[in-house]
Structure 1
Amino acid sequence: MSTVPHSLSMMDYREHVSRGDLHYEKTVKRSEGGLPIGTGTMGSLVWTSPSAVKLQVNRVDVYANDCSTNSFNERHSDYAYGCGFVDIDFVDYGADVFTDDTIQQHLSLYDATAAIQGNGVQMEAFAKSGGDVFVFLVEDRRAEPQGINVKLKMLRPAEVLTKHHLAVSTLKMVNDMIVLKQVFREGEHFCCSAVAICLSGRDALARMNDEFGGRELVGSFRKRPVLGQPNETEMRLCVKPGAGAFELFVASAASFDTEEDVVALAVERAEAARSQGYAAMLAEHKAWWNEYWSKSYIRLSSEDGTAEKVEAHYTYFLYLMASNSRGGQFAPNFGGMLLSPRGDRRHWGAMQWWNNLNLYYNAILPSGHYELMEPYFHMYSNMYDSCARAAEQQWGSQGIFIPEVVWFNGLDNLPDDIAEEMRELYLLRKPWEERSERFKQYAYSKHPHESRWNWKSYESWEEGHLVYPDRGYGPYGFTTHMFANQVGIAFHYWMYYEYTKDESWLRERAYPMIKGAAEFFRHFPNLRKEEDGLYHIYHTINDEKYIGGKDSMDAMSAMHGILPVLLKASELLGVDADLRPVWQELYDHLAPIPTSDNPEAVLRTEEGAPGVWVGALEPVLDNKSGIDLRPARFCNLCTLATEDENPSMYETGVASLQFQEERLNGDWGRSASEMSASARVLAGMGMAEPFKETVLAQLDCINAEREYCYITETGHVKFFDNRLTVREGVNAISAQRLGNAAAALQLALCQSQPGAPAKEPAIRVFPACPKGWDAEFALWCHGGFVVSSAIRQGDVTRLSVKSTLGGVCRIHNPWKGENVALHRKDGSSGSSRGSSSSGSPMRMSGSMFVFDTVAGGEYELVRV
C-alpha cells in the first residue's frame, strides 16, 4: 500500500486518528448505538445487556433471495446479510456486570479495536483484517468467577417457508466448536452461510437443549421441512469458571455454490485463528490499520470546536468504510451496511438504491483508499449482462439499463410476451388501462420496491388477498423511469481511471460501463431529434418527481455528463472510431439542461432574471415545480473550475444557488437532510460559510423530525452514540450523512475536478475553508497527485505535491498572484515547464502553475 511520504507529513497518525474515537461511560440503551467492527465483508455492532456482550454476525454476500424471486411482493419483506446472533453472557446467578456506574467502552479507530470493561470483567475485540473472523480476548477478574456462556442463536425459527422461498437454519457441533448454518433456496437461487465459534485458553463444553443434546440431528427422518421442525434455536459454549483470560473466535463463511461446504470453511477459518492466537493476529491487524491511516488525512481546529467536530466525523467515516466495504464482491447495503443488530429484515429490504449507495463512495477516491471502491465496482460489473438484456427487453434500447433500485445480481430475465408488453406500456405507446391480465398477474408477485415494478402503490390485505393499486400515473412509479443512476455508476468508473490512469482498468472495466450507459440513451426510443435540430427526451422521472416530464434534469444531466467522457475514453483507447462521429453529433445537438428561462420550464423566473436549473420541462403529471442543483453535484458539470471552462454554465450555477438561498431565507441548514448534497454543492462552488452551516446541520440531523422515513417507529432518535442514524427506518443503520459530509469537506479543502466532464483537471487548495478554521491535509487528486497543504488564520502556509504516476501537474496559485518557487525535493532529473535547469528551483507567477513531474517526484511550492 502506497503511503504519504514522511517529507509531506510529520503527522502523528495515532494521536490524530484517535481524535475520532468513540468513548462511552455508560451503557447504550439501544443496540443500534453499539461499537462497529468489521473486516469489510463481515461486520457487526458490539453492544451490551446488563449481563452480556452482544453482536450480530452480518456478511455482505448473504442474500436470502435474488432478482428471480416471486415470494416477496410485500415491501420491506425481502431480507439479507444476517448470519446469526452471538451473546457472551458473563452472569448466571450473580450481579450485573455492565451498568452505567461501572462500564467503560472504547472504540480505537487507529487500531480498529473495541474494548468494553465492566464490573470485574473486560473484553477486547477486533475484526481480523484479511479474514472473516471476529477475535475476542475475554477476562474475568471477579472475586468469584462464574461460568461464561457463549450463545450462538438463529435469526428466525429453524425453518421458514415463504411461498416459494425456504430458509433453513441448523445448529451442530463440530469437534469442540458450535456452528450455525443457514440455507436459502428459491427456484435456481441458492445461498448459504455458516458461523463457527471456538475458544482457547479455557475448557468449555458445547451444549444444546434438544433431545440429543446437539450431538445428533433431531428429526432427520422428516421428508418435509417446516412441519415438525426443531424448536431449539440456540447452542452454547459453556466456559469453565475461572479467573484470568481466554480467547474467543467467531468465524463465518458464505457461498452461492451448492457444492461448497461452508461449514467446513467457517470451521477452518476459526481453527486457523485459534492456531495463530490473539496476540499474533492483533499485531497483524494493527499493522494493516496503522498503514491504512497513513494514506491520507484531514486535521482541523477552530475556537468554536466546529472544525474538530467535522474532522472527527470524517475520520470515523473512513473507519466505517474500511470495516464495511473491502475485499468482497458486493457493496454493503445503504441501510444497515454490515451493522444491523435486529435480525436480517429492515425497512427498504435488501436491494440497492443507487441514490443512497453512492453517498458512501463519493469521498473514497480523494482519500486514496481505492481498494474500498472494489466491492462497488464488482457488484455492478457482475450484473452487466442482465442489465444489457434489460435495456432491450424493458426499453427496446441498447447498452445497459441499471435501475435505481436493483437486486445484487441485476434484473430477472422476462418472458418474451411480458417484455414486449412492458416496452409498449413503459414507453407510453400502449394505454395503461389496456394492460393484459397476463401482465397484471405476472406483476402481482414482483417486489414493489424494484424499479421495474415501482408503479405498485402501498398494498393492503382485503378478504385474504393482497391488493395493489397503482400510483395513479400509469406506468410511472417513484423510480421506474429514472436513468441518471447508471451514468452516475459509469462516472465513478471513469473517476477511478482519472485518479489512477490505469489504462487496463479503463479498457477492461470502465469502458464497457461508460459505453453501455451512453448507448442506452442514444438508442432510447423516446429520445428524438426535433424541428429545432436538438435531441429531446420524453416520459422520464427526475429524483422521484416531475413525473413524465420532457428533458428532465435526471436524463439531460446524464447525457451531458457521459457523452464527452465516452468520446475521450474512446480516443484514449483507440476504439470505436466509427462511432465517434455519431456520438459527437448527438452531443453537439443535445438539448440544453433545463432552466427557468425556457417557456416550458416547470418553474419560471421573472422576466429578465437569470435562468436557474429546474427539474424538467412541462408537462409533468405530478404538477411539481422547483429548481434542481444536480449539475453542481453530478459528473463535474458545474464546479469552481467551470467559471473558466464554461462561463455560462457557471453563471447559471451561481444564480441557482442564490435562488435557493432566497427560498431558504438565508438558512442553508434547512436544506441539510441525511441524503442532501447541499454541503457538497456549496463547497464545490467555493461558498465557505454556507458549506460550514450546512455540514454542521447535517451532522446534527437538525431536520430529522421532518425528513426521516420512519421517525416514530424508530423512536425519534436523531443519531446514536456511535454517530449513526436510522434515517431509513428500523434496523437500517445509516452513515449516508457522514459520506455526504466527508465528500463536502474534501471539496472545501482541495479540489482537482475539471471544469466540465472529461476536460483537463487542475488542483485548487482551500477553495471553501470557513473563516476561523485552521486546517491541514494530505489528499489524493486526479492524475495520482498527493497534495499536502496547511492554512493558518486564512493564510496558506504549506503546499507540497507528490506525483505517484508522473505527468503534468496543474495547480492554482493559492497566494493570489504572488510569485512562487517550485522546489523538486527529491532531486529528480525531470524537467519543469519553463524551467531553465532541472536541478534548480523554478520561479513561477500568475494564477495557474503548470509543470511536468516524474513518478515518485516530490515538489514543494514556496512564496518568494
Structure 2
Amino acid sequence: MTIKQHLVLLLILIGIFNTSCQKKSGAELKSAVDWSDFLLRNDLVWEKMPVKWTEGAFVGNGILGTIFWKEANSLFFEISRTDAYDHRNGTSIYTSRYRMPNGNFSLGLESIEGGQGTMRLNLWNAEVSGQFSNETKKIDFKVLAHAIDEVLLFEVNVPEGETMNFSWHPDTIQTSRFSERGKKETAPYPAQHIEEMKGVNVSLADMPEDEMYNTHGRGVGQFATAWKIVEKGNGKYLVYVTEQYSYPGTTAKKIAVELVERAVQEEINSFVASHRDWWHQYYQKSFLSIPNSRLESFYWIQMYKMASATREDRPIIDLAGPWYMRDTKWPGIWWNLNTQLTYSPFFVANHATEGSSLINWMWKYRENLEANAGGNGRYAIGRSCPITLERPCPTKDYEVGDLGYALYNVWEQYRLTMDEDLLRDKLYPLIKGHYLFYMDHYVEKRKDNNYHLKPSGSPEYTRDGYPAPADCNYNLAIFKWMLRAMIEADQRLHLKDPEVEQVKNVLANLVPYPMDEAEGFMVGENQKFAYSHRHWSHLFMIYPFYEYTYDDPEQGAIIDQSLSHWLSYSEAYRGYSWLAAASMKAMKGEGNAARDFVLKSLDHERFPAQPNTLYIEGAPVIETPLYGARAIQDMILSSYNNTIRIFPAVPDNWKDAAFENLRADGAFLVSAKRAGGKTQFVKIESLAEEPCIVKADFNGEINAAGSREFKLTPLGDNKIQIDLKKGESVILYAGDKLDFTISKVDILDTANYWGVKK
C-alpha cells in the first residue's frame, strides 16, 4: 500500500472508533414514581406540637400564607400577605415602605385538658393535618392555602356538643423594626376595627392620607382580613379566611368579602380537589431522588416553599415570603444576594413558570428601576427596597451590580428555556439599561487604554478600613457577564443594536480581574481578601457565572487557590456561605466535600436550618434554605461551557440516584439513573436547536436509543456530542439493558427527618 492509501485507511479507522450511529427502536423512558407514596417519606412530621416560629407548620399560595404553632392553650395562626407594604413618603424599608404585620387567629384547645398533639405537612396535597387529644377527647384540624384562590381553609372537628373557639387578634399596623418605632414618621395607623358585611366578618385597617402618618400626598390605602365560620354539624366547622390589601384606594374590604363568599358557595370537595390538582401537576414537572433522606426531604420541602411563596402572576419573593414575623429586621427585598439565592433553584427544577415572578415584577416596575438610575433608559437599584422596587442606586462607591446579579438569574431562565420572547421583550432591555448606568457612572478608560471600574462596593466587605476599591471583582464580574450577554443576545435576536459595537470594544479592552499570586482573586484593585465575611462576592467569576471553570487546568488552579483562601476565613460564615462552597466543590467533582458543606450549612453552629427547614439570621430570611436546593441540584446536574454534566459531584455513598426532567443550559430536559455507583442511562430531550454535549461516567460502551440513528462523537474526558435536533429525544446507556425506568431510590437514613420529634 502506498503512503496515501495508509493515510486514507487510518482516517477511516479513526472515524469508526470516534463516531457511532446507533439506534434501538422501541426504547422509551418509564416513570415508576408513585408520587403520593414518594413524597410521603419527605413530609414534615411533628411528633409533638411546635411551640415557636422556627418549629411551625406553614402553607401558602404565592401571595397568602399562614404559619402556626402552639401558644399556651391555643394554636396560633399568623396570617400574612406578601405584597402588603406601607406607602408612606420616602423609600426606607424601615420607616416608610416596609412590609406590614396583620394579625393572627387562634384555635382554642382548652377543652382538651392535658392534651398532646401531632401534625403532618402532606407535601403531595399541600395541606397540614393534625390532632390534639387526651385520653377522652380530641380536636382534629386541616389547613390549606388554596392553590388558585386567595383563600385559606381551616377544617376543624371538635368533640360533639362543644363549640369551636376560633378568634381573631389584629396587630397594630406599624413598622416591624423595633429601633424605628416611636418616631413621628412611623406613627402606627388607626387600630383595626371589625365589621360585618354580607355575613362575613372583616377586620379593617384604614390607612389615611395624613401628615400624622407621613402619608400626605400619597393617597389612602386599606388592609382587610375577612373570614366566615360555617358550622357543618357533628362538631365539624369550616373557616374561610383571606387577607387583602389595596393601595391606592379602599377596595380591600370589598374584594376580601367577595373572595370568602365565593369560596363558601363552592362545594367543599370541588374546592379541595382544584387545590390538590394544581399541586399534583406542579410537583410532577420534575423528579429527584437521592439516598440521603435528610437532604432529599429538605429538597422537596424547598420545592413546596417555592410554589407557596410565588407564582408567575404573583409578587416577587421578599425576605419574609408568605410567613411573616411581625418583629423582623428584614421587612423588605434585598438585592446584594438574597433575592438571587431565593430564585436560584427554580429553573433547573423546571419551574420557570413560577420563577417568572422575578422578571415579571422587575418589568412591571421598570419605571421605578429607571427612576432609581436617574432616568433616560438607565436601570439600577439600591441594596434593599420595598415591593415597588424604589431605591436609588448611588453613583459612586456602591455595589452597583446588584440589579445585574438578579438579571443573571433571569438569564439562566432564558438559557434553560431558550425563550427568545423573554430575552427580546424584557431581559435584554433591562440588561442594556443597567449596562448604560455602569457606563455613565462607574466605567472609565485609563491611560493604559483599558476600561476600569471606578471605586465601587463589594457587598458587606466595603467598610471602615476597607474602602470601595477600583476594579471591584464583584461589580467587574457582573459587568463582564452583561457585556457577553448583550453580544450573544444581539447575535441571536438579529437586533443589530448599534450600542453593541461599543460593548465589544469595552469587553475586548476590559481590565483583568485583580489577583494576588498567592491568594487568588482579590476584592479589588490593591485590596486583598483579608477578613471573614459571609459573601463570596469577589469569586463570582467562578460561581455562579462559570467564567472560570475546571475545564481549563490553569483556571482550575486559580479556583483552588482562591477558594482555599476564602475558606480559610470562615469565622463570619452563614448558612449560604457553606452552600456556595458546596457548589464550587461540585464544579470540581468533589461530591463528598460538596455534601459535607451542605450538611455544614444545615448544622451551622449559630444559624442552622430550623426543624421546619426555615432559617433565621437575626430574623427570618427565606433565601438560604432555597439556595440549599440549588446546591443539591449542582451535585446532581450542572450545565456550563456547552456541556451537560450528569451526576457531576455525587458522594461516594450515593451509589443510587435518579432524576427526571431537570433542565439544562440550551433548553434540554434531562433524566438519568445511577445505580451501583455508575450512570445507567441518560435521556435528553431537546426543546431548542442547541448543540448537545453530555458528560457522564458510563461503565462501558455507550449506545443510543431513539426514533432514528444518532451520531455520537466522543470528545474525550467522558464527553459525547450528539446530533440531537429540536423536538427529538435520545437515551444514552451502556450495555444491552433496555429497561429505562425512573423510580425513587432506597434511602440510607430514616425518612421524615424534618419537623419536631419527641
TM-score (norm 1): 0.73
Q: Which residue of 1 aligns with 2:40?
A: 18
1:69 corresponds, among 84, 87, 90, to 90
Contact 1:819 1:843 in 2 (8 A): no
Q: 1:660 to 1:164 in 2, by over 3 A?
A: closer
Contact 2:696 2:719 in 1 (8 A): yes
Q: How many residue pairs end up in the alignment?
A: 680
1:762 corresponds, among 643, 661, 672, to 643
Matched, 1:737 2:624: yes
Q: 1:808 to 1:157 in 2, by over 3 A?
A: closer
Q: Which amino acid aligns with 1:249?
A: Y
Contact 2:63 2:150 in 1 (8 A): yes
Q: Give the 5 Å matches for 1:829-848.
A: 832=710, 834=711, 846=716, 847-848=718-719
Q: 1:106 to 1:389 in 2, by over 3 A?
A: same
Matched, 1:198 2:106: no
Q: Give the 5 Å matches for 1:387-402.
A: 387-392=369-374, 399-402=378-381
- C-alpha separation between the residues in 2 aligned to 1:805 and 1:192? 47
- C-alpha separation between the residues in 1 aligned to 2:124 and 2:532? 48
- C-alpha separation between the residues in 2 aligned to 1:274 and 1:496? 38
Q: 1:728 to 1:680 in 2, by over 3 A?
A: farther
Q: Which residue of 2 aligns with 1:325?
A: 310
Q: Which residue of 2 aligns with 1:486?
A: 403
Q: Deviations over 1:622-667 (max 9, x none)?
A: 9869984322223232344xx25xx543431133234445x37xxx
Matched, 1:544 2:450: no
Contact 2:339 2:406 in 1 (8 A): no
Q: Deviations over 1:204-247 (max 9, x none)?
A: xxxxxxxxxxxxxxxxxxxxxxxxxxxxxxxxxxxxxx733121
Q: Which residue of 2 aligns with 1:339?
A: 323
Q: 1:809 to 1:619 in 2, by over 3 A?
A: closer
Q: 1:487 to 1:140 in 2, by over 3 A?
A: same
Tell me by how many angstroms 1:746 deviates: 0.7
Matched, 1:617 2:525: yes
Q: Which residue of 1 aligns with 2:752?
A: none
The 3-state SS of whatever aligns with 1:365 is coil
1:255 corresponds, among 224, 243, 246, to 246
Q: Deviations over 1:523-569 (max 9, x none)?
A: 22x42222222111122111222422121111211122110001111
Matched, 1:801 2:709: no
The 3-state SS of whatever aligns with 1:540 is coil
Q: 1:555 to 1:352 in 2, by over 3 A?
A: closer
Q: Which residue of 1 aligns with 2:212?
A: none
Q: Which residue of 1 aligns with 2:617?
A: 727
- C-alpha separation between the residues in 1 aligned to 2:54 and 2:645? 39
Q: Percent identity?
A: 19
Matched, 1:58 2:80: yes
Tell me by how many angstroms 1:311 deviates: 1.1
Tell me by how many angstroms 1:407 deviates: 2.5
TM-score (norm 2): 0.83
Tell me by how many angstroms 1:69 deviates: 2.3
Contact 2:83 2:387 in 1 (8 A): no
Q: Give the 5 Å matches for 1:587-666.
A: 587-597=507-517, 605=518, 612-618=520-526, 628-640=538-550, 643-644=551-552, 647-660=553-566, 663=568
Q: Which residue of 2 aligns with 1:126?
A: 144
Unaligned runs of 5+ in 2: 1-26, 176-180, 210-214, 736-758
Q: 1:805 to 1:274 in 2, by over 3 A?
A: farther
Q: Which amino acid aligns with 2:501?
A: P
Q: Which residue of 2 aligns with 1:814?
A: 697
- C-alpha separation between the residues in 2 aligned to 1:29 and 1:632? 42
Matched, 1:522 2:439: yes
Matched, 1:559 2:467: no
Q: Which residue of 2 aligns with 1:111?
A: 125
Matched, 1:174 2:64: no
The 3-state SS of whatever aligns with 1:637 is coil
Q: 1:624 to 1:399 in 2, by over 3 A?
A: farther
Q: Which residue of 2 aligns with 1:377?
A: 359
- C-alpha separation between the residues in 1 aligned to 2:34 and 2:109? 38
CA RMSD of aligned residues (A): 3.0
The 3-state SS of whatever aligns with 1:126 is strand
- C-alpha separation between the residues in 1 aligned to 2:674 and 2:646? 9
Q: Which residue of 1 aligns with 2:505?
A: 585
Contact 1:111 1:290 in 2 (8 A): yes
Contact 1:356 1:675 in 2 (8 A): no
The 3-state SS of whatever aligns with 2:525 is coil
- C-alpha separation between the residues in 1 aligned to 2:156 and 2:478? 53
Q: Which amino acid aligns with 1:673?
A: G
- C-alpha separation between the residues in 2 aligned to 1:158 and 1:493? 34
Tell me by how many angstroms 1:669 deviates: 11
Q: 1:190 to 1:504 in 2, by over 3 A?
A: farther
- C-alpha separation between the residues in 2 aligned to 1:669 and 1:801? 42
Matched, 1:699 2:602: yes
Q: 1:279 to 1:90 in 2, by over 3 A?
A: farther
Q: 1:803 to 1:527 in 2, by over 3 A?
A: closer
The 3-state SS of whatever aligns with 1:411 is coil
Matched, 1:84 2:118: no
Tell me by how many angstroms 1:351 deviates: 4.0
- C-alpha separation between the residues in 1 aligned to 2:171 and 2:628? 34
Tell me by how many angstroms 1:282 deviates: 1.3
- C-alpha separation between the residues in 1 aligned to 2:348 and 2:391? 36
Tell me by how many angstroms 1:482 deviates: 0.5
Q: Which amino acid aligns with 2:172?
A: R
Q: Give the 5 Å matches for 1:774-793.
A: 774-778=656-660, 779-793=662-676
Q: Which residue of 2 aligns with 1:163?
A: 184
Q: 1:117 to 1:139 in 2, by over 3 A?
A: same
- C-alpha separation between the residues in 2 aligned to 1:368 and 1:59? 26
Q: 1:82 to 1:326 in 2, by over 3 A?
A: farther
Q: Which residue of 1 aligns with 2:16?
A: none
Q: 1:299 to 1:681 in 2, by over 3 A?
A: same
- C-alpha separation between the residues in 2 aligned to 1:370 and 1:355? 20
- C-alpha separation between the residues in 2 aligned to 1:411 and 1:96? 51
Contact 1:138 1:247 in 2 (8 A): yes
Q: Which residue of 2 aligns with 1:151?
A: 167
Contact 1:324 1:332 in 2 (8 A): yes
- C-alpha separation between the residues in 2 aligned to 1:858 and 1:669? 48
Q: 1:296 to 1:682 in 2, by over 3 A?
A: same
Q: Deviations over 1:663-698 (max 9, x none)?
A: 37xxx9995634542222222332222111110011
Q: Deviations over 1:773-827 (max 9, x none)?
A: 12111211122211111222321112112234454322124337x5322111xx3
Tell me by how many angstroms 1:768 deviates: 0.7
2:586 corresponds, among 677, 683, 688, to 683
The 3-state SS of whatever aligns with 2:634 is helix
Q: Deviations over 1:443-490 (max 9, x none)?
A: xxxxxxxxxxxxxxxxxxxxxxxxxxxxxxxxx6xxxx0022111112
- C-alpha separation between the residues in 1 aligned to 2:267 and 2:113? 29
Matched, 1:312 2:215: no
Q: Which amino acid aligns with 1:375?
A: S
